[in-house]
Structure 1
Amino acid sequence: MKKAVVFLLVLVAAGAAAAGYFWWQLNQGAAKTEEISVKPLFYPMEKFVMSVSGDPTSRYLVLELTLVSHKADTIAALKEATPLLRNALVEHFARQSHLEVKLAMQQVSEVQSELLARFNQTLLDNKYEQQLDKVLITNIFIQ
């Protein structure tokens, strides 16, 4: 009988330990969830300067962008991912002429949407889980 009581106590203790472990794991998972800020968080990129083809000489495009997210983890990851995003900018504008860029910039919201899609795809392709909410063009200069 004593062995049965001891066995039952060991079984109850093991069950309590397992329940405590699972409760702790659930709370750890909840702590790791990404906090979403009510206000947008901003990441201003360095000025982007690129030559675009023009007749008969080359012209320049100067862009200043600010990336927007509501997640602090996304903003933190952008410093590391900036070279990838700058490369995506080069790829986006490399085949466009001065006139094409000038016409595109008349529809700034469309360019912002295109860049958002391109940046998010670039992040995804490079195994970043973070995604941007918006791309803001804060300054444009086309020479």
Structure 2
Amino acid sequence: MNILIAARLAFARILATKTRSGLTMLGIIIGVMSLIALVSVAQGATSGIQDQFKGLGARNLTITGTTPQSITIEDAQAIAQEPGIEIVSETVSGRVTLSSNQASTRAQIVGVDPDYKTVVDPDIFVGSFLPDVINANDTRLI
């Protein structure tokens, strides 16, 4: 059978059953449109979730030791050398008692390195980070 004859026969059959052919085309069009809409919604949701994770700092990984000296500066430097690691920020923290005259209170004190504000971007209500010149001179302050 020649292709031209087959095409002419198929076209004639489509014209003979116009209602059936129209409903078939309508079903195909609705199906394709539904699929496109579903994929668009899924991609939008995925993008929104990824943006939320980025906003929460999901790119950040926090490693905490179980004892005071379980993670050393050498460990942090080794982690910084791993592929895919952009910035490593070291911190040390502890609970202390602050007292003045007859008043005293317990407080959490956190010591951070200069990269901390790049990694965490904290909101500071009172005070500020130390100037870069103090960090450059490796000055110790309390």
Scaled to the shorter chain, the TM-score interval is: 0.3 to 0.5
Kindly indicate whether structure 1 or structure 2 has the higher relative contact order, using CA contacts under 8 Å at least 6 residues apart.
Answer: 1
Which one has the bigger strand percentage? 1
Greater CA radius of gyration, 1 or 2? 2
TM-score under structure 2 length normalisation: 0.35
The normalised TM-score by structure 1 is 0.34
